[in-house]
Amino acid sequence: MFVAQGRALIHITLPGQTFAEDADRPQRPDTGALRHVAFECADHAAKLVRFDRLALPFRRRDIAAIGLRQIFVSDPDGVLLELNFRTV
């Protein structure tokens, strides 16, 4: 799903299709046909506070060159969720 500017609002990635920097991260065998699902989100700081408060494990990635902050967290079934926050 895309927004009017042509930027992905939601994307779903199949196994084997990932960024090179994530290639060494093993895919969980119990997530079915999905590698991850990504969502365009708002309020990066509030999400970090919430995940900390809930003691949810997550990892962050900032890609300054394209104005993107990301949070990666797994849902209860083990599917990786990529939460994208635009800074520009």
Q: Which of 4-8, 26-30, 80-84 has the lowest mean pLDDT?
A: 26-30
Q: Which CATH number fits domain 10-86: 3.30.300.30, 3.40.50.2020, 3.40.50.300, 3.10.180.10?
A: 3.10.180.10
| Structure confidence by residue, pLDDT tens digits, 21-72 | 555 656 656 555 667 788 889 999 999 999 999 999 999 999 999 899 999 9
The pTM of the full predicted model, rounded to 2 decimals, is 0.68
Task: Transcribe 5-74 into DSSP letters.
Answer: TS-BSEEEE-TT---GGGTTSPPPTTSTT-SEEEEE-S-HHHHHHHHHHTT---EEEEEGGGTEEEEEEE
Question: What is the pLDDT at residue 83?
Answer: 95
Nearest alpha-carbon partner for 45 in 18, 19, 71, 26: 71
Domain range annotation of the chain: 10-86
Torsion of CA 87, 25, 11, 65, to 10 degrees: 30
